[in-house]
Amino acid sequence: MADTVSIPSDVAEAFTDAWCNTVITSDVAASLGCTEADALADLLRALGAEQAAEEWIDAHAEDDEPNDRHFQGTVPAGVSLAADGMHWSPAPADTQDESLQPAHEKGVHVTHTPQPSQCSRDEPHAARPCAGDRAHADRQTTRRVLRREVAGTVGLLADEHDFRAMRHYRTFAFADFATYLAAVEDLLSSRASQGAHTTVALFDPEEYADFCADAGLDPDSPTSRARFTAELATVGPALPYDGQPLADLIPSLVDEAVRQATWEYASALLARLGACTCCGEDIGRTAFARSSGLLARILDTARPGHRHLVCSVSAAPETLVTVLHADTDPDGASQLDEAEALEFTTVLALGLATRSPGGLVMRTTTPGAPDQVYGWRLRKGDFEPLTAGEIFDAYCTDADSGGLVSPESDVDYCVPPDLGHEATPSAHRH
């Protein structure tokens, strides 16, 4: 008679609650070895979670090969298998049951209920495993190691509006947004705990519908959603998951989407300007070069520390706003995010090229000193410094009501540094 142990009911309930989770099951089961999957399933059965145990075995079996213990697929024609009671392994040609041969040639759907291995039936539990078991374990271990090196992308619905749009699809399994977010967070945490790298991309239902229509795919299909998500990993707004809560990740992801959309819109407007009819210069390219030079001079003349820049350009049909963060390293060089810098330079170039009104404000923060705030205005393609009074009024006036706002303490509203001759207006004025 087998020994029995007592498990406190609250511990048993907590264990089943934690492991009877379809998201964890689908993500983790395939990475388990057959012995590990059986051990977990046996424990769940002992705790009364029969359905969860079967789900773990089924999810684990999806990744098994014909010579794995839980394989449930179709054996390819020409593959010879023999069941040794522990796992499927190639059978010697001279010992095959000839009654199996025709079926193998046609392809057989194999299901297998695990039985004790022949090599261990008459041996104690700690006996040395047979060579077949060792080879099987090595293959499972290798597969798990490789899986850790496979990067993944999760398409995230960032708000309830997008979630409701996906609820129209029968194969979309979630009924409410809160449950969906909790499941996504569980999935991300699970992958991170296994050392897997995951990128989170913003999933837009309208873009998804267009993608399926263009590719001739059924939108009500998990496979189609997976293909769209894979596309997002290369062209859409996406961020790496580093263990941060979704409450922090979602706003950052939305900001990334806005930044990308702003850059694409500004780039399209610059490209449409074409060449100057008088001199033949590419107006957009010339403006971008000038914008890059101005940004370099602004950063070079700013004091070391953290620099926060905001540029706004009144472009039809709406004002474009872009933000750039720049810190200095110990050598005094500016450290920039390339995507932020590209967007910032493009929006500033658009203001210069179209001679649209706008402005640029810089705030510098250095330990042990008051913050400095200064800026410039864009006017008819020129870059003009703001006075200390103008920058003070801009910061201390409520944009909606026009009323005064108390100035911040320990902040110096001042004139900007001289940018030198490199910031002179472009000669391209016609």
Split at pLDDT 50, 70, 90, the class of 154 is very high
pLDDT at 124: 44
Per-residue pLDDT for 411 more than 80? Answer: yes
Tell me the per-residue pLDDT of 130-145, one tens digit each, with 9 for 90 and over.
555 555 555 656 666 6
Q: How many CB atoms lie within 10 A of CB 53?
A: 22
CA distance 90 to 84: 10
CA distance 233 to 374: 38
CA distance 40 to 267: 55
Tell me the per-residue pLDDT of 254-263, one tens digit each, with 9 for 90 and over.
988 888 889 9
pLDDT average, residue stretch 185-212: 90
* Amino acid at position 416, single letter: P
Per-residue pLDDT for 56 more than 70? Answer: yes
**Percent residues over pLDDT 70 in the chain:** 75
pLDDT at 409: 86
Split at pLDDT 50, 70, 90, the class of 127 is very low
CA distance 381 to 429: 8
**What tokens were used for 407?**
């100035």
∠ at Cα 374 (372, 379), nearest 5°?
A: 170
* DSSP H stretches of helix in 3-83: 9-19, 22-28, 34-46, 50-61
pLDDT average, residue stretch 271-288: 85
Q: Over the chain, what is the mean pLDDT?
A: 78
pLDDT at 135: 57
Tell me the per-residue pLDDT of 362-395, one tens digit each, with 9 for 90 and over.
999 998 899 999 999 998 888 899 999 999 888 8
pLDDT at 99: 38
Let me know: does 385 contact 415? Beta carbons within 8 Å: yes
CA distance 192 to 185: 10
Counting Cα atoms < 13 Å in the Cβ hemisphere of 264 gives: 9
Domain range list for the chain? 7-69+131-149, 152-243, 283-423
pLDDT average, residue stretch 216-242: 90
